[in-house]
């Protein structure tokens, strides 16, 4: 370390040693410092890998997950970024931070739409949003979300059933029948 203090693999090894010796807090600080150093140096792939290590040890570290998402999106690793977005939204939801979970899903949807790949990610994200709306009894918002799903996939039987059910709950029998 004295001969080569800027050589980051040494710092990663030190973090491993700190973990093994039971000093998790110090190890996490070391890993975060290494990840940020990689990021500042423009070594995006390496920074993302270190953030993945951090999340293996501390899956509820929201800041590390947000940084990882940012780095994955920069590398056009869209599927991985969207997976992390869904994990982040689930964490927010578990902590009863519903508004934050909705914002996270909105950001994920924006990324999915920008990637212009197949619409399966958009549908998956919209389903998560609709599920939250239903659990909050926000039927109007759920109706809008399920409508978006059926626009993307008109043959989605579950979404169509939910649309009918929501129209009935809202007293819109004619629309439900149509």
Residues 6+ away with beta carbon under 8 Å from 135: none
Distance CA 15, CA 61 (A): 17
- Does the model's pTM come out above 0.85? no
Report the residue count for the chain.
Answer: 178
Nearest to 88 by CA among 70, 114, 76, 74: 70
- C-beta of residue 57 within 8 angstroms of C-beta of residue 28: yes
Task: Please tell me whether residue 6 adopts helix, strand or coil conformation.
Answer: coil
User: What is the pLDDT at residue 4?
Assistant: 66
Extract the residue ranges of the chain whose pLDDT is less than 70. 1-5
- C-beta of residue 141 within 8 angstroms of C-beta of residue 133: yes
User: What is the pLDDT at residue 47?
Assistant: 93
User: What is the pLDDT at residue 12?
Assistant: 83
């Amino acid at each position: 370390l004295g001969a080569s203090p800027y050589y980051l693999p040494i710092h990663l090894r030190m973090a491993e040693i700190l973990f093994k010796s039971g000093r998790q807090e110090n190890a996490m600080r070391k890993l975060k410092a290494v990840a940020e150093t990689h990021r500042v140096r423009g070594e995006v792939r390496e920074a993302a890998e270190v953030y993945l290590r951090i999340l293996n040890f501390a899956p509820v570290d929201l800041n590390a997950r947000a940084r990882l998402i940012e780095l994955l999106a920069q590398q056009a690793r869209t599927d991985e970024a969207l997976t992390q977005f869904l994990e982040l939204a689930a964490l927010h939801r578990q902590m009863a931070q519903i508004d934050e979970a909705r914002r996270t899903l909105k950001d994920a949807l924006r990324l999915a739409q920008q990637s212009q790949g197949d619409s399966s990610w958009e549908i998956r994200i919209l389903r998560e949003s609709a599920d939250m709306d239903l659990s909050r009894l926000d039927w109007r918002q759920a109706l809008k979300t399920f409508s978006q799903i059926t626009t993307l996939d008109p043959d989605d039987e579950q979404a169509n059933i939910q649309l009918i059910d929501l129209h009935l709950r809202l007293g819109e029998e004619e629309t439900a029948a149509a």
